[in-house]
Chain A
Amino acid sequence: MASLDDLKKRIASVKSTQKITKAMKMVAAAKLRRAQESAEKGRPYSEKMNNVILNLSSGISDKENAPKLLSGSGKDQIHLCVVMTSDRGLCGGFNSNIIKKAKSYFAKLSEEGKELKIITVGSKGNDQLKRAYGDKIISHISFKESKNANYFDAEKVGKIVIEKFEDEEFDVCTIFYNQFKNVITQIPQAQQIIPLNTETSEEDKSEDSYEFEPDEDEILSNLLPKNISTQIFKAMLENSASEQGSRMSAMDNATRNAGEMVDKLTIEYNRSRQAAITKELIEIISGAESL
């Protein structure tokens, strides 16, 4: 059994760990509020963008000559996966959930005999995928310097993706990120961005026809690259809210566990202290008796 001194040290160390996790929880809570706010503020843009594109693509006359970003390259052989994770750890299952989702998708692809290429965004995902899929990772992007998700960064990723598509390096592009539902639930998502999914439910199809200036094709080919950056930006916003939420609940759990541990250790400490006293008493009494 550990000595009294050792127990004392353990208790002190667990207590200081608890203080750290508690502070991290507070920080995450504050950041979460901001991240959530910006995720909500960014929503109108991506929704409007989506609407315009749906209207445009339903109005497009000649599907054959539609821009490639919309209709795809006509093949389905090479898949590009953009895996978006965080740059920092200690956020519970946040990164592992994305990686798990991505890996199961990778497995499905290789079963079907498709070729796989990976771009990782965020260093944690890169670390986890490097071991198993190191040769598949064609590019790694990290935004450690920028404090919040901003559109400029998203545009950078978007540009890389579009360039690679134009060089015919891949046929289908999917992004992986965590969708923020609430503080305890984040849902890992796989969203295909090239070719764009333009299936609409009947009800939100608008009746009125638009006038286009210049024509649909030209607007679309101008709009689609922007839409890709927008989708990536949306994913980044969702991700940063999810990261903070996930970290908050993870740190909450850690604080609670540390509290339980302190209680248990304190009981053990008191017991062994008492045992030591009893032992000494017995020694004194039996010493006195033998006289």
Chain B
Amino acid sequence: MSEEFKVEIVNPEKSFLVKEDVLEVVVPAFEGEMGILKDHISIISFLKPGIIKILSKSGDENYYVEDGIVEFKNNNLSILTSSIFNLNDLDKSKQQDLLKKAEEEASKPEINDQSKYLVDQKIEILKSLNQ
């Protein structure tokens, strides 16, 4: 039996990526990283800033996301996100831009705890990418 399932990443403008031969996807869910294999139970969760790892027969891919929702059902994994970048396309200057934006947001006085947590996560991830 094959161990593959389908993953689909959609952003508001278009369908970002569709892959049929995926073995495992690791998503940065809100309460920690979550690896999804075939025949996982149906689940809905949302993402915090982090790296989505897609392991497939045709090669591995890494994406950076800032937010989103994951839905897994009948071996279909849908990821809805409004901000996603392929790590290969994310060069140093872009990373710096995102980092700067995040730091600006973090320094706002009226920020609430939850968004503060998310922004801190974002900064941490972006910093680790830089190394």
In contact, A213 and B82 (Cβ under 8 angstroms): no
The answer to whether the Cβ of B75 comes within 8 Å of any Cβ in the partner chain is: no
Q: In whole Å, how far is A224's beta carbon from the nearest beta carbon of chain B?
A: 11
Q: How many residues of A contact B (CB 8 A)?
A: 31
A233 contacts which chain B residues (CB < 8 A)?
12
Whether B14 pairs with A208 at a CB distance below 8 angstroms is no
The answer to whether A48 touches B10, judged by C-beta atoms less than 8 angstroms apart, is yes
Q: Using Cβ atoms and an 8 Å threshold, which residues of chain A touch B11?
A: 45, 151
Tell yes or no: A44 within 8 A of B by CB. yes
> Contact at B42–A56, with CB atoms within 8 Å?
no
Give the B interface residue count (CB, 8 A): 23
State the main secondary structure of chain A at its contact with B.
Answer: helix
Choice from B13, B42, B46, B82 contacting A210 with Cβ under 8 Å: B42
Between A and B, how many residue pairs show CB distances below 8 Å?
A: 74
CA distance A51 to B10 in the complex (A): 14
B44 touches A52 (CB 8 A): yes
Tell yes or no: A230 within 8 A of B by CB. Answer: yes
Q: Is B3 an interface residue (CB 8 A)?
A: no
Q: What residues of chain A have their CB less than 8 Å away from a CB belonging to chain B?
A: 38, 41-42, 44-46, 48-49, 51-52, 55-56, 150-151, 154-155, 206, 208-214, 219, 222-223, 226, 229-230, 233
Please report B residues at the A interface, Cβ cutoff 8 Å: 10-15, 29-31, 34, 41-46, 67, 69, 71, 73, 78, 80, 82
26 contacts between A and B (CB under 8 A): A41-B14, A41-B15, A45-B12, A51-B71, A52-B69, A55-B44, A150-B13, A151-B12, A155-B82, A206-B73, A209-B42, A210-B43, A210-B44, A211-B43, A213-B29, A213-B30, A213-B31, A214-B30, A214-B31, A214-B45, A219-B69, A223-B69, A226-B67, A226-B82, A229-B82, A230-B12
